[in-house]
Structure 1
Amino acid sequence: MNLSVQFGTLMMMLLSGIGMGIAFDSYRVVSNRLHIGRLLIPILDLLYWLAATIIVFRVLMANNDGEVRIYIFIGLLIGIGFYFWLFSSTVIAFVVWLIETIRKLIRFLVRCFELLVIKPMLILYKLVRVLLGFALAISLFILKLTGQLLRPFWLLLAWMIRPAVRPLWRAIEPYWKKIDIAGRFIRIRTSCIALWKRWFGED
């Protein structure tokens, strides 16, 4: 292995040490901010060191075919020490700022979704309820008024056809009682009133 390859490998190990320091500080800040349980910390530490080892080995394979020399560990230690001496506090501050920015962005997006989607849908729902209630009330009023206006004509018609209907009624009365139309009508009316109160009553 010539000197240029050794120097290049040393520089890559130095950069790998800096990268390991950045990854460690980022992982530590994120785990603290997310309040990861203590039981998971050893597992995450193991995963961190496993990933770091694999990455360093791949860098070695790319630079000197995986040969392990003493200067490799020296380069890693220099890179890690250099990072914690100069850049650690800056990286921690940046990661904290990035996490808070992401949180604020998520809260902003959720708020926009509530204002632009959820609240208009609720307002539309309430408006439809009011319009349906108003239309139903107007319809019932018109039906009631029409019934009152037509009541004299119905009474006159009933008086005129009573002699012809009475024999027919005597013939179908037993079947009418079995069907119980009046009882069914009362039950349907009660169900409609209960449904009206549930939909259009006070919340």
Structure 2
Amino acid sequence: MSLSVQLYTMLSMIAMGSYIGAAIDTYHRFSKRRSSFHWFVACNDVMFWLMQALVVFYVLLQTNHGEIRFYVFLALICGYAAYQAMLRPFYRGLLERCIMLTVSIYKGIVTLFRYLVMKPVTFILKLLYSLCMMIVTGCTAVILFLLRLVLVPLRGLALLLLKWTGLLTYVKKSEPIFAKIKEFIKSMRKKKE
């Protein structure tokens, strides 16, 4: 292995040590830690460390074809220590600002969606409902008015015909029967309720 490859390997492993420190801080920021053992957290931890190992090995594979030497581990430890000593406060502040910015953007998008899509759609639906109710009410009023115009003269004509034919006396005699039928129907309705 040439000296330049060894230098690239050292620098990349120092960078990967810093990356692992940042990844650990990010993972701890987003993971929910519990005081007792939980399988889900344990599985997440195992998956996290497997992913970090794969990323480190991929970088090592790109720089020196995957040759693992003692100085590779030293470079990883040095990179992690450099991150802990110098970069950690800066990265944590940057991470918190990124999280706050992402949350603000999300809330802004939700607010925009509410005001640009939901409110106009609900306003249009309420307007359409009001218009439909106005049309139904208007049509009902017109139909009832037309029925009254037709039924009032027909009623008068029917009364005249009943008087002329003498059937009005039979209708008046049968009114108590109709009243009893109405009472019976009302009592049946009350029993059902």
TM-score, normalised on structure 2? 0.70
Distance apart, 1:160 and its partner CA: 8.7
Worse overlay, 92-101 or 148-157: 148-157
Matched to 1:143, the amino acid is: I
Which region of structure 1 is more displaced relative to structure 2, 97-106 or 146-155? 146-155
Give CA-to-partner distance per residue, 1:1-48, whole Å, 9 cap, x none: 2322222211111111111112111111122xxx46662333222222
1:138 and 1:36 map into 2 onto residues whose CA distance is 64
CA separation of 1:66 and 1:149: change in aligned 2, threshold 3 A? closer
| Distance (Å, rounded) in 2 between the aligned partners of 1:136 and 1:123 | 20
Can you give the 5+ residue segments of structure 1 that lack an aligned partner in the other structure?
A: 167-203
Distance 1:128 1:58, change over 3 A: closer
Aligned equivalent of 1:96: 96
Determine helix, strand or coil for the equivalent of 2:13: helix
CA deviations 1:152-181 (Å, max 9, x no partner) are: 542466579889xx9xxxxxxxxxxxxxxx
Q: Could you tell me the TM-score, scaled by structure 1's length?
A: 0.67
- Is structure 2 residue 130 aligned with structure 1 residue 130? yes
Tell me what 2:7 maps to: 7
Q: Report the AA paired with residue 99 of structure 1.
A: I
Whole-Å Cα distance in 2 between the matches of residues 6 and 13 of structure 1?
Answer: 10
Cα distance in 2 for residues equivalent to 1:145 and 1:73: 95
Which SS does the other structure have where 1:87 is aligned?
Answer: helix
Q: Matches of 1:79 and 1:106 in 2, distance apart?
A: 34
Could you say which residue in structure 2 is the equivalent of 1:52? 52
Q: Structure 1 residue 136: deviation in Å?
A: 2.2
**How many Å separate the matches in 2 of 1:59 and 1:126?**
60
Q: Percent same amino acid at aligned positions? A: 26
The size of the alignment, in residue pairs, is: 161
Q: Is the 8 A contact 1:20 1:52 kept in 2?
A: yes
Q: How does 1:1-203 map to 2 (within 5 A)?
A: 1-31=1-31, 35=32, 39=38, 40-155=40-155, 158=158
Structure 1 pair 135/72, CA: closer, same or farther in 2 (3 Å)? Answer: same
Structure 2 unaligned blocks of 5 or more: 168-193
Q: 1:126 to 1:73 in 2, by over 3 A?
A: same
Shift of 1:82: 0.6
Q: Note if contact 1:29-1:92 (Cα within 8 Å) is conserved in structure 2.
A: no
AA at the equivalent of 2:2: N
Distance verdict in 2 for CA 1:64–1:136, change over 3 Å:
closer
Alignment partner of 2:111: what SS?
helix
CA distance in structure 1 between the aligned counterparts of 2:27 and 2:89, rounded to whole angstroms: 14
Partner Cα separation in structure 1 for residue 63 and residue 152 of structure 2: 107
The C-alpha deviation readout for 1:114-162, integer Å capped at 9, x for no partner, is 2222222222222222222222222222223323333454246657988
The separation in 2 between residues aligned to 1:144 and 1:68, in whole angstroms, is 94
